[in-house]
Amino acid sequence: MSISIDQNRAAFAAYTKLTVVSRFENRMNNHQSYSNEHMSMNFSDFLDVLKNNEVVNKSYVRNVPIKQREDSLINSLYNGNMQFENEKLSYIEKAYNLGMVDGCNILINRKV
């Protein structure tokens, strides 16, 4: 199945934030997580879970951390595209609400 990243820019930005960026931030802060040793779900699975409102791990269901909201606000101020940033944040919020993000803010594998 082919997914157009161009048509899903905000979703892909959210996916990248919860995979690449979060891993980088954890390494910079010397934090380790279960997800650092295992693969996150792929982008296609990420979209499917969000679309189907599928809870991945009940123990990770929570609201998005304040730091994620602060990062989003900073991004919107500097990139000048508040609509895009709000759309990206809505994907991130839903991921947290569906238990898709571990305690170190990294997207988990769907099969964990």
Q: What residues are paired with 107 via a beta bridge?
A: 101
Cβ of 68: how many Cβ atoms within 10 Å? 21
Q: What does the pLDDT look like over 89-101, one tens digit per residue?
A: 999 999 999 999 9
DSSP class per residue in 63-92 = PPPHHHHHHHHHHHHHH--HHHHHHHHHHH
Q: Bridge-partner residues for 101, per DSSP?
A: 107
Neighbours of 42 (CB within 10 A): 15
Q: Could you report the per-residue pLDDT of 22-59, keeping only the tens digit for each?
A: 887 767 777 665 544 467 899 999 999 999 999 999 99
Question: Residue 17 in contact with residue 92, Cβ under 8 Å?
Answer: yes
